[in-house]
């Protein structure tokens, strides 16, 4: 008897489901960053707004990368429904605290998928996830560095104005960063 | 795997994947699909439809249906998108179809393991 299941799709049902959940999480991140960009713009933080617009685009790109992978492997990629996006923040600092929290959650989520791939010996997907692992290193670094500006510069006087100006200059240029 | 070859039609042969007293699932290697003989009809399912059927049957909350004291009949309409057929099943039939599908997917998984171990080993 032919193994039709395997011929049609490389992914197991569990991995496919985890990847679809991740697609939703990336879409959620993208929308959340868009809301942050809006809040920053409304409150006069132009550079931070621009920073979050870029972050939102990146998350959307991550979502598509996962989406196409699921399709390429013969799976069913599900276009996610996104709701409950936080639109209001209590302070400039809270925006960055939430951004870091979001990145930590995304990293944890990728770790869970990688662990499932190891359990199932799905090394093809595991290899695909390496790109995201590397990316999360950069994302977490940038989010952490942005939050650290609040400690280094301080919010007194023109502090927030200075922080805003510096946010867009954050770069992760570690020689091991790759692309 | 024990493969009972059945001739459903004269053109192709079909391999029995799993059967219970209530029904059976056959695979057609040539057509790349499965036939489910259940509730008095034989229905063809491709790869995606079979997974959708599995999902919709597994989603039925049997316990909730059993505990339901309202007078509504315990009948569930199982409709699968992009499939020409639907099932109108009572509670016992849902349980039977679930058993049939569980056995089928266990066998398909076993078949995959056998293929991986025996035929896909690069020497």
Distance from CA of A75 to the nearest CA of B (A): 9
Q: Are A143 and A100 in contact (CB under 8 A)?
A: yes
The larger pLDDT score, comparing residue A7 to residue A68, is at A68
* Position B52 in a domain: yes
* Position B112 in a domain: yes
* Position B37 in a domain: yes
* Position B75 in a domain: yes
The answer to whether residue A139 scores a pLDDT higher than 60 is yes
Domain count, chain B: 1
Distance from CA of B40 to the nearest CA of A (A): 25
Task: Say whether A28 counts as a known binding-site residue.
Answer: no
Residue A104, Cα to own-chain centre: how many angstroms?
Answer: 9
- Show residues of chain A in contact with B32, CB under 8 Å: 2, 4, 7-8
* Position B3 in a domain: no
The CATH T-level fold of domain A13-77+89-169 is: Ferritin (1.20.1260)
* Position B92 in a domain: yes
Radius of gyration in angstroms for the set of CA atoms belonging to chain B, rounded to a whole number: 16
Task: Say whether A62 counts as a known binding-site residue.
Answer: yes
Domain boundaries defined on chain A: 13-77+89-169
Domain of residue B110, residue span: 15-119
SS (H, E, C) A136-175: HHHHHHHHHHHHHHHHHHCCCCCHHHHHHHHHCCCCCCCC
Summarised one tens digit per residue, pLDDT across range A92-135 is: 999 999 999 999 999 999 999 999 999 999 999 999 999 999 99
CB spacing of A1 vs B3 below 8 angstroms: yes
| Token pair of A15 as six digits | 């991995």
Q: Are B15 and B27 in contact (CB under 8 A)?
A: yes
Instruction: Say if B27 is an interface residue toward chain A (CB within 8 Å).
Output: yes
pLDDT at B2: 41
Query: Which of A170-174, B56-60, B114-118 shows the lowest per-residue confidence on average (mean pLDDT)?
Result: A170-174
pLDDT at B1: 44
Strand order in the sheet with B33-38: B5-6, B14-20, B23-28, B33-38, B41-45
* Position B7 in a domain: no
Instruction: Say if A71 is an interface residue toward chain B (CB within 8 Å).
Output: no
Summarised one tens digit per residue, pLDDT across range A30-86 is: 999 999 999 999 999 999 999 999 999 999 999 999 999 999 999 999 999 999 999
Summarised one tens digit per residue, pLDDT across range A144-165 is: 999 999 999 999 999 999 999 9
Summarised one tens digit per residue, pLDDT across range B80-91 is: 766 777 888 888
pTM, to two decimals: 0.83
pLDDT at B62: 84
Instruction: Report DSSP letters for A33-50, one per residue.
Output: HHHHHHHHHHTT-HHHHH
φ, ψ of residue A178 in degrees (nearest 5):
75, -140
Task: Say whether A156 counts as a known binding-site residue.
Answer: no
Strand, coil or helix: B29: coil
The answer to whether residue B69 scores a pLDDT higher than 90 is no
Distance from CA of B115 to the nearest CA of A (A): 7
- Show residues of chain B in contact with A2, CB under 8 Å: 27, 29, 32
ipTM over 0.90: no
φ, ψ of residue B68 in degrees (nearest 5):
-65, 115
Q: How far apart are CA B38 and CA B41, in angstroms?
A: 6
């Amino acid at each position: 008897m032919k193994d039709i299941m395997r011929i049609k799709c490389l992914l197991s049902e569990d991995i496919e489901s985890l990847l679809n959940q991740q697609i939703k999480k990336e879409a959620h991140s993208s929308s959340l960053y868009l809301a942050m960009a809006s809040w920053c713009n409304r409150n006069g933080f132009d550079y931070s707004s621009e920073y979050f617009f870029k972050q939102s685009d990146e998350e959307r790109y991550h979502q598509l990368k996962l989406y196409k992978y699921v399709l390429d492997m013969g799976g069913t990629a599900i276009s996610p429904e996104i709701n409950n996006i936080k639109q209001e923040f209590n302070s400039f600092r809270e925006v960055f605290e939430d951004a870091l929290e979001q990145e930590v959650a995304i990293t944890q989520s990728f770790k869970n998928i990688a662990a499932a791939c190891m359990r199932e010996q799905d090394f093809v997907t595991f290899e695909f996830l390496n790109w995201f692992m590397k990316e999360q290193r950069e994302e977490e670094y940038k989010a952490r560095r942005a939050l650290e500006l609040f400690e280094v510069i301080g919010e007194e006087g023109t502090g927030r104005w200075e922080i805003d100006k510096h946010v867009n200059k954050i770069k992760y240029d570690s020689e091991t960063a790759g692309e | 795997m024990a493969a009972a070859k059945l001739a459903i039609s004269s053109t192709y042969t079909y391999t029995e994947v799993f059967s219970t007293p209530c029904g059976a699932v056959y695979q057609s290697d040539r057509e790349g699909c499965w036939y489910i003989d259940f509730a008095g009809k034989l229905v063809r399912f491709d790869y995606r439809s079979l997974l959708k059927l599995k999902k919709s049957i597994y989603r039925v909350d049997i316990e909730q249906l059993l505990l339901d004291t309202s007078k509504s009949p315990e009948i569930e309409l199982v409709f699968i998108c992009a499939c020409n057929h639907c099932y109108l099943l009572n509670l016992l039939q849902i349980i039977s179809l679930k058993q049939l599908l569980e056995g089928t997917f266990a066998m398909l998984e076993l078949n995959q393991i056998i293929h991986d171990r025996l035929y896909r080993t690069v020497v």
